Amino acid sequence: MQKIVPHLWFDKEAKEAADFYTTLFPDSRVTSPFVLKDTPSGDCDVMSFTLWGHPVVAISAGPMFKLNPSISLMVNFDPSLDPDARKRIDDVWAKLADGGSALMPLDKYPFSERYGWIRDRYGLTWQLILTNPEGEPRPTIMPAFLFVGDVWGKAEEAGAFYTSVFKDSTRGMIARYPAGLEPDKEGTVMFSEFALEGDQRFVAMDSAREHGYSFNEAFSLLVNCETQDEIDYYWGRLSADPKAEVCGWLKDKYGVSWQIVPTRMNEMLEAGDDAAIARVQAAFMKMKKFDLAELEAAYSG
């Protein structure tokens, strides 16, 4: 099981969005649709699916949070691995553009023969890039953080922090802004990469421009934990805002939202009968940090 999984919050569109996203790439499918009943947001569709082999979770949980470009999905189209990479990037762009809007047009840039940044019809933003076939191989899909506003200039620091928290983690390339690109400050991060838990790659960038958005709960990162010790460890290292601690959710010192979740709870919700699921749900809705023993007791009745 992948350790860190992107989690997307929608108003009512999780099922529709998951069905659409799985048409975009090969090796993509909905894996386990589920309905979480009687939450404060009503009945919520929870959709687990894979995109080009990478797991993603989406939930329909009401209009409280809206997706924005502070965290996007960067998709690497590598001609050395896919002879149809250039056609595929154009095809995916066309599908995302239907009802969406371009933030940076699909075009040639100094860093790529073909790149574009786009917001789709559901609000999720994507960075599509035709990678250099002679460069280092990269995963097809990588979450990309944009540090703006109050956390502008923190991309490098955040990468170092996350690689200190998660095991088997490494820092990758860093490209810095040169002089003359004001308001971006010389030396801040134009583009950087880091890997957590082996080869789960992430991108981090700074931007000093006015954007009008920041990290929020609409795009969170779910951490699958096998034991209570793991839950305690990640909660202790990541949580920086007690007011944001609710039902397994927390915010770190940069405002990024995480969910620290026992894998066993997912098994309970997927395999239990209605009564057992209701007991587990009633138990976890009262929690901040999840207590695995209490969840097990609730499941057993």
CATH number of 7-215: 3.10.180.10
The reported pLDDT for the residue numbered 38 is: 78
Single-letter code of the amino acid located at 167: K
Q: 183 preceded by cis ω (within 30°)?
A: yes
Q: Can you say whether the dihedral through the CA atoms of 180, 185, 187, 192 is positive or negative?
A: negative
CATH architecture of 226-301: Roll (3.10)
Is 299 in contact with 277 (CB distance < 8 Å)?
no
Distance (Å, whole) CA 163 – CA 198: 11
Distance (Å, whole) CA 156 – CA 65: 27
The reported pLDDT for the residue numbered 40 is: 77
Is 104 in contact with 97 (CB distance < 8 Å)?
no
Distance (Å, whole) CA 196 – CA 69: 22
Instruction: Locate 139 and state its tokens.
Output: 């995963």
- The structure tokens 């909905």 sit at 30
Distance (Å, whole) CA 23 – CA 18: 9
Single-letter code of the amino acid located at 300: S
Q: What is the pTM assigned to this prediction?
A: 0.95
What residues pair up with 112 in beta bridges, in sequence order?
Answer: 109
**Residue ranges per structural domain of the chain:** 7-215, 226-301
The reported pLDDT for the residue numbered 33 is: 86
Write the CB contacts of 244 (distance below 8 Å, at least 6 apart in sequence).
Answer: 250, 251, 257
What residues pair up with 191 in beta bridges, in sequence order?
Answer: 175
- Write out pLDDT tens, residues 228-250: 999 999 999 999 999 999 999 99
Confirm whether 7-215 and 226-301 share one CATH topology: yes
- The structure tokens 């839950």 sit at 231
Q: For 172, how many CA atoms within 13 A lie in the half-sphere containing its CB?
A: 17
SS (H, E, C) the chain: CCCEEEEEEECCCHHHHHHHHCCCCCCCEEEEEEEEEEECCEEEEEEEEEECCEEEEEEECCCCCCCCCCEEEEEEECCCCCCCHHHHHHHHHHHHHCCCEEEEEEEEECCEEEEEEEECCCCCEEEEEECCCCCCCCCCEEEEEEECHHHCCCHHHHHHHHHHHCCCCEEEEEEECCCCCCCCCCCCEEEEEEEECCCEEEEEEECCCCCCCCCCCCEEEEEEECCHHHHHHHHHHHCCCHHHCECCEEECCCCCEEEEEEHHHHHHHHHCCHHHHHHHHHHHCCCCCCCHHHHHHHHHC
**Residues with pLDDT less than 70, the chain:** 272
